[in-house]
């Protein structure tokens, strides 16, 4: 029998933070968490969009207005500041926000934008929020990846800058590989430390959001942006459907630590199910190296 949002248990009393929750997958994830009783924090970089999303989510869910947290994952100072603004225990962190296939750009800290936002920003955020997560009874971290991680066979410390060898889709895929390497290494470290923190991953398949077109529009490629947006809407599943694997990973009571969840139909669309990362994503030695590089880059560590 297929899993649906009707199977989400009562989340009353649980406190969740979702990054990139002003639209798309993050918005739909936040909406269902609210509907099932969770207190939700929307973490995003645009205060105006965050305020509008909070109002919309409250109206759509019939629940109290979500808390809003200013967070720019491409700026490690912003990540640190956001973490200090939270003081209550945190039951769930959904590392959802992302950047897809823009022209070459650097973060505030000088890293390639996609690896800097999609991986390093979330790495630093998770590490800084770890004390709050460990104060919860059953803390969980869900990190979003993509089936695009299957298109690359490795990652190196040089990819953090990628100044002389940038290819936008290759860089995106490596950032998504980094998400999985991080998720699985966080699981290993939590278990080695005897922690009850559960680390899991998810990917949406091919979902209709503004992420695909937004990357092209960063470089002023309005025609490419429009074509990508049209094609996505034509063949992709909805953002609500794309959020199902994230919600499954975030709420299934007996989920196995280190699980990875994706759509059931060739990982393209459909109800969520457990899927397998590539061998590269499961490479424990590569994950340890990535962790070390990430600590060096962000100046923060966990476990």
Catalytic positions, written as ranges: 145, 172, 176
Which is nearest to 26 in space by CA: 17, 36, 39, 15?
17
Q: Is 165 exposed, middle or buried (0-12, 13-18, 19+ CB in 10 A)?
A: exposed
Contact by Cβ (8 Å): 187, 255: no
Contact by Cβ (8 Å): 204, 24: no
SS3 letters across the chain: CCCCHHHCCCCCCCEEEEECCCCHHHHHHHHHHHHCCCEEEEEECCHHHHHHHHHHHHHHHCCCCCEEEECCCCCHHHHHHHHHCCCCCCCEEEECCCCCCCCCCECCCCCEHHHHHHHHHHHHHHHHHHHHHCCCCCCEEEEECCHHHHHCCCCCHHHHCCCCCCCHHHHHHHHHHHHHHHHHHHHHHHHHCCCCCEEEEECCCCECCCHHHHHHHHCCCHHHHHHHHHHHHHHCECHHHHCHHHHHHHHCCCCCCCCEEEEEECCCEEEEEECCCCCCCCCHHHHHHHHHHHHHHHCCCCC
Q: Is 104 exposed, middle or buried (0-12, 13-18, 19+ CB in 10 A)?
A: middle
């Amino acid at each position: 029998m297929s899993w649906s949002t009707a199977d989400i248990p009562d989340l009353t009393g649980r406190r969740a933070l979702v990054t990139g929750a002003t639209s798309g997958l993050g918005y739909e994830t936040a909406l269902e968490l609210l509907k099932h009783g969770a207190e939700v924090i929307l973490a995003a970089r645009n205060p105006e969009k965050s305020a509008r999303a909070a109002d919309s989510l409250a109206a759509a869910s019939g629940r109290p207005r979500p808390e809003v947290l200013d967070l720019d994952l491409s700026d490690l100072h912003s990540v640190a500041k956001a973490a200090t603004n939270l003081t209550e225990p945190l039951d769930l962190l959904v590392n959802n926000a992302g950047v897809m296939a823009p022209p070459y750009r650097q973060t505030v800290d000088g890293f390639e934008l996609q690896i800097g936002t999609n991986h390093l920003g979330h790495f630093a955020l998770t590490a800084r929020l770890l004390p709050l997560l460990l104060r919860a009874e059953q803390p969980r971290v869900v990190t979003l990846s993509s089936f695009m991680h299957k298109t690359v066979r490795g990652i190196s410390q040089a990819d953090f800058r990628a100044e002389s060898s940038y290819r936008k889709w290759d860089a995106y895929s490596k950032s998504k590989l980094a998400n999985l390497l991080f998720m699985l290494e966080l699981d290993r470290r939590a278990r080695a430390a005897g922690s009850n923190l559960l680390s899991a991953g998810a990917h949406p398949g091919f979902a209709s959001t503004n992420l695909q077109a937004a990357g092209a529009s960063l470089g002023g490629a309005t025609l490419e942006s429009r074509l990508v947006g049209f094609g996505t809407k034509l063949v992709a599943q909805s953002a609500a459907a794309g959020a199902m694997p994230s919600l499954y990973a975030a709420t299934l009571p007996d989920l196995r630590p280190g699980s990875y969840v994706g759509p059931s139909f060739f990982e393209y669309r459909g109800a969520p199910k457990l899927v397998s990362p590539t061998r590269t994503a499961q490479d424990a030695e590569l994950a340890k190296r990535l962790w070390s590089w990430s600590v060096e880059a962000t100046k923060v560590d966990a476990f």
